[in-house]
Amino acid sequence: MRILICEDSTLLREGLVRVLEDAGHTVVAALPDARNLVERVSTTVPELCILDVRLPPTFTDEGIRAALDLRTQHPALPVLVLSQYVEERYASDLITGQNAALGYLLKDRVADVRDFLESVDRIAAGATVLDPEVVAQLLTRRSRDDRMARLTDRERSVLALIAEGKSNHAIAATLFVSEASVEKHITSLFQKLGLEQDDHGNRRVLAALVHLEHGGLPSADTGRTDIPTPPNGAVR
């Protein structure tokens, strides 16, 4: 996979290059800031872009603003944002406002190389991978509503499994029901949660956020909320 990195810390930048290249990827550029990011993306044609949130010159939100610009100018490019902190001002727009695959992970996750590389592969394949701490902080300021009260117990179970990143097939196997039944439950819960249909699977992301907002927990096995774009034929 062709990957572009934008990270101001020399140590972390070179570490990412080493980890990714050792895993068989090609780092087409490793930039210390976002000044020429869009141009370098156009010339190097990466399949994934990894950016730090805080970049020179102010070390505030240059990276995440650059990610938003990238998703506007290169809407199909998967983006993985690495952050020491959660930038609430822009993170919600980044997560829900565009259609391409997205990752938002805290830098502590990079220390687990295997988990990090798995996240890179899943994002490049079209998944949305959100660090549970990112999700938790984003939801602290969201107002609670009565949408969850509209769901049946079975719909709540299906929603919880969506939030764990399970496909319709996996949900059916977990609940011992048919995939057709799962699709009916998902269609119903999307309607009750007021989530409009789209062609990119964003409703699954938004539904998972509603679940987490109302006390749901991410998967204990992965330590993250991993919401893949559903395959063809899955309810979106």
- Map out the domains of the chain with their CATH numbers: 2-139 (3.40.50.2300), 151-213 (1.10.10.10)
Q: What global pTM score does this model have?
A: 0.62
Structure tokens at 119: 């996240």
What is the mean pLDDT of the segment spanning 78-89?
Answer: 80
Mean of pLDDT over the chain: 80
pLDDT given for residue 223 in this prediction: 41
The one-letter amino acid code at 182 reads V
pLDDT given for residue 146 in this prediction: 63
pLDDT band, very low/low/confident/very high, at 232 (cuts 50, 70, 90): very low
The one-letter amino acid code at 118 reads E
pLDDT given for residue 14 in this prediction: 95
pLDDT band, very low/low/confident/very high, at 221 (cuts 50, 70, 90): very low
